[in-house]
Amino acid sequence: MRAILTVKKTLVVVMKKRIESLRSRHCFLSCCSILILFALLAGCAQHAMQAQALQSGKQDGLPVDITGGQLQGGLSVVYFNDKFKHIDDMPKSKQAIAKFGIVGPPVVTLDHQFGEGQILDSGRTTEVGVLMNGLIHLDKPGTYLFQAMSNDGFQLYVDGNLIVSDPGVHGDRMSETGRFEVAKGGMFPVEIKYFQRKGTATLSLYWQPPGSTGFSIVPGSAISHLQQ
């Protein structure tokens, strides 16, 4: 009888240890599952962020095909009459641009020290925003560097990529250097955003093409737009 009781007690102890072992293993597996889930979610989030970054502009450095299009010198331009404090205050959507924008003649040069005079062909000396679009001819592969001297806010996009940004209210000053990598020479979409709030104004865009030793004004011959 005692032997039977001893065996029963032994079996009970073994079963308890087995149950505890299973519980520990279950907890371990649950923790592993949670960690794996977090890792998957983090990976998805990183992938989504990378995808969003790629949507900001093309990354291949290849020119656009303008076959069949008719080029006209200078960049197309739209003006906005308002007291902007930041580039982001300017209209962004196609609807807002169409509603508030005033179309002007093409901007054929990108070297302007306005002082207290008129901003391009806007008819205004202060409280005006400028949106220019078109193409820039980057004729050889390699790294192109860009800088802007502006007063006030300025942004440069090449092929949808933000290259130069000095977007707030400020006096005459040179921006930080931006770079754009070209895999094959040709025409690339370009967009320039600029605003003048009050006082004096300046707008000059500089570049350093591959093989050049210094910065120079982007020539008017390098900018154009497709006629609509």
**Co-location of 181 and 221 in the same domain:** yes
Residue 137 domain-assigned (yes or no): yes
**Co-location of 131 and 194 in the same domain:** yes
Q: Say what percent of the chain tops pLDDT 90.
A: 72
Of the candidates 82, 45, 98, the residue with the CA atom closest to the CA atom of residue 90 = 82
Residue 66 domain-assigned (yes or no): no
Return mean pLDDT, the chain: 83
**Co-location of 50 and 106 in the same domain:** no
Q: Residue 33 — very low, low, confident or very high, per pLDDT cuts 50/70/90? A: very low
Residue 60 domain-assigned (yes or no): no
Q: Residue 18 — very low, low, confident or very high, per pLDDT cuts 50/70/90? A: low
Residue 196 sits in a domain whose CATH number is 2.60.120.1560
pLDDT digits (tens, 9 = 90+) for 115-158: 999 999 999 999 999 999 999 999 999 999 999 999 999 999 99
Cβ contacts of 160-164, under 8 Å, gap ≥ 24: 160/56, 160/57, 160/58, 160/189, 161/56, 161/57, 161/58, 161/59, 162/56, 162/57
**Co-location of 124 and 166 in the same domain:** yes
Range of the domain at 195: 71-226
Distance CA(168)–CA(158), nearest Å, equals 20
**Co-location of 8 and 44 in the same domain:** yes
**Co-location of 200 and 119 in the same domain:** yes
**Co-location of 48 and 75 in the same domain:** no
**Co-location of 82 and 147 in the same domain:** yes
- 10 Å CB burial of residue 37 (0-12, 13-18, 19+) is exposed
**SS in 3 state form for 49-80?**
HHHHHHHCCCCCCCCCCCCCCCEEECEEEEEE
Q: Residue 45 — very low, low, confident or very high, per pLDDT cuts 50/70/90? A: very low
Task: Please report the pLDDT score of residue 44 as a whole number.
Answer: 35
Number of domains in the chain: 2
**Co-location of 27 and 101 in the same domain:** no
Beta bridge partners of 82: none
Residue 179 domain-assigned (yes or no): yes
pLDDT digits (tens, 9 = 90+) for 162-184: 999 999 999 999 999 999 999 99
Residue 65 domain-assigned (yes or no): no
Task: Read off the pTM.
Answer: 0.76
Residue 210 domain-assigned (yes or no): yes
**Co-location of 36 and 87 in the same domain:** no
**Co-location of 96 and 24 in the same domain:** no
**Co-location of 160 and 96 in the same domain:** yes
